[in-house]
C-alpha cells in the first residue's frame, strides 16, 4: 500500500498493491495494520473505522457535499468498486490556511485508488460512468441529527465536476445546502477532532 499526500494536509490518496495474473487480480482493499503503519504517521493519529457503506448511482448523480457535526464527526476512506467517480474533499475548518480549498481525485474500478477524507472536511462525488458502485469506511456511526452539508453546485469552490450541470442529478436535500459564503462551520482548526 502506498500513501500519497495531497495539496491539503491530512487528505490522502491510498494506492493498494495489486497482484495480477492470467486469472485476474487480487489485492487487500483494507488492512488495519498497514493503514496504521503507513497512514497514521502521516496523519499524526490513528483512525478506527467502525461502519462500512455502499451506494449505487447512475451517470450524472452528484452526492454531497456532506459532513457530520461534532461530536459525531467522521473520517472516510472511500473507493469506487464499479465504474468511475470524481471524488472531492473540501476543507471547512475555520482558521485553516486551506479553508474552502478542495482536493479532487478520480476513483475507478480500474485504478483501485482510495481517498481518505479527514474530519472537518465536506465530502462529495459525481458519477462519471454509466453506473457506479461506491464504498466507504467511516470512523464514526451515522447520526442523522448531525447531518450537514455545503452546496455541491457552489461555483465559488472552483470544482470541475466533469459532468455538464444540465445532466446533474441531485437529491432535494442536496439542493438545500448553503453556499460556502453563507455557511457557518462547526469545525475549528484549533480543536482536535480526534479526541
Q: Does the active-site annotation cover 112?
A: no
**DSSP tag of 18:** P
Residue 117 C-beta-side C-alpha neighbours within 13 Å: 31
Strand 84-91 with 121-127, pairing:
antiparallel
Asked whether the beta carbons of 183 and 66 are under 8 A apart, the reply is no
Catalytic residue among 102, 113, 123, 136: 136
Distance CA 135, CA 54 (A): 4
Catalytic residue among 66, 102, 113, 177: 66
Distance CA 31, CA 49 (A): 11
Q: Does the active-site annotation cover 66?
A: yes
Contacts of 62 (CB under 8 A, 6+ apart): 124, 125, 126, 127, 152, 153, 161, 163, 168, 169, 170, 174
Question: Catalytic positions, please?
Answer: 66, 136
Amino acid at each position: 500500500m502506498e500513501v500519497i499526500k495531497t495539496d491539503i494536509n491530512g487528505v490522502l490518496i491510498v494506492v493498494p498493491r495489486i497482484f495480477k495474473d492470467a486469472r485476474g487480480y487480487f489485492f487487500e482493499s483494507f488492512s488495519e495494520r498497514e493503514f496504521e503503519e503507513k497512514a497514521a504517521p502521516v496523519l499524526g493519529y490513528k483512525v478506527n473505522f467502525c461502519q462500512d457503506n455502499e451506494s449505487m448511482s447512475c451517470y450524472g448523480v452528484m452526492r454531497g457535499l456532506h459532513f457530520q457535526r461534532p461530536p459525531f464527526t467522521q473520517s472516510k476512506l472511500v473507493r469506487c468498486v464499479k465504474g468511475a467517480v470524481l471524488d472531492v474533499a473540501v476543507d471547512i475548518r475555520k482558521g485553516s490556511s486551506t479553508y474552502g480549498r478542495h482536493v479532487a481525485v478520480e476513483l475507478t474500478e480500474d485504478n483501485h485508488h482510495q481517498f481518505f477524507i479527514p474530519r472537518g472536511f465536506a465530502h462529495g462525488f459525481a458519477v462519471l460512468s454509466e453506473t457506479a458502485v461506491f464504498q466507504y469506511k467511516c470512523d464514526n456511526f451515522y447520526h442523522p441529527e448531525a447531518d450537514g452539508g455545503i452546496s455541491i453546485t457552489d461555483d465559488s469552490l472552483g470544482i470541475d465536476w466533469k459532468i455538464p450541470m444540465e445532466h446533474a442529478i441531485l437529491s432535494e436535500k442536496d439542493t438545500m445546502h448553503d453556499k460556502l459564503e453563507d455557511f457557518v462551520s462547526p469545525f475549528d482548526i484549533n480543536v482536535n477532532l480526534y479526541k
